[in-house]
């Protein structure tokens, strides 16, 4: 079965997952927009939405992982000034260890996203997929609303 562009559906879905991995959020958004507007194949549409949601979730998680230490360090700095500490909290060695922990979590999210998108790209070539419960529920809600 072919998409309107003349590309096999599985290959097109594979391209979407690869663009989501290597291109980022903006190119993935453009491809998803095209698929949702122009294509009618359910597998292709669901693959596009799945790729977008994975990239979006990883971006939000990495943002939160990056912001949380800054907020905590600012809070502890203010508390240390209130209680009269001579050295600001952000200059302590513990801060570097905490940042390393958060960097590790960010790396885990990025690596998990990469592995998942590459696996989905490989499976998409065979017109197969992996069911991801949270994403499948969101896609199911979207599909129900569109049918109404």
Q: What is the mean pLDDT of the chain?
A: 87
Q: What is the pLDDT of residues 48-93, one digit of tens each?
A: 999 999 999 999 999 999 998 888 878 877 777 777 766 666 566 7
User: Helices marked H in the chain — which ranges?
Assistant: 9-22, 25-38, 42-82, 93-125, 133-147
Per-residue pLDDT band at 143 (split at 50, 70, 90): low
pTM of the full predicted structure?
0.84
Q: So what's the pLDDT on residue 44?
A: 92
Nearest to 47 by CA among 82, 83, 8: 8
Domain coordinates in residue numbering, the chain: 9-147
Q: So what's the pLDDT on residue 114?
A: 96
> How far is 30 from 63, CA to CA, in rounded Å?
22
Nearest to 114 by CA among 12, 18, 11: 18
């Amino acid at each position: 079965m072919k998409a309107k562009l003349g590309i096999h559906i599985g290959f097109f879905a594979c391209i979407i997952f690869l663009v989501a991995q290597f291109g980022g959020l903006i190119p993935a958004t453009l491809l998803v927009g095209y698929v949702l507007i122009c294509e009618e194949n359910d597998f292709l549409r669901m693959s596009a939405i799945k790729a977008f949601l994975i990239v979006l979730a990883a971006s939000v998680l990495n943002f939160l992982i990056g912001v949380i230490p800054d907020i905590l360090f600012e809070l502890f700095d203010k508390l240390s000034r209130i209680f009269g500490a001579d050295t600001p909290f952000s200059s302590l060695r513990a801060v570097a260890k905490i940042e390393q922990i958060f960097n590790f979590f960010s790396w885990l999210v990025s690596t998990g996203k990469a592995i998942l998108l590459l696996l989905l790209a490989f499976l998409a070539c065979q017109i197969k997929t992996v069911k991801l419960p949270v994403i499948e529920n969101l896609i199911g809600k979207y599909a129900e609303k569109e049918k109404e």
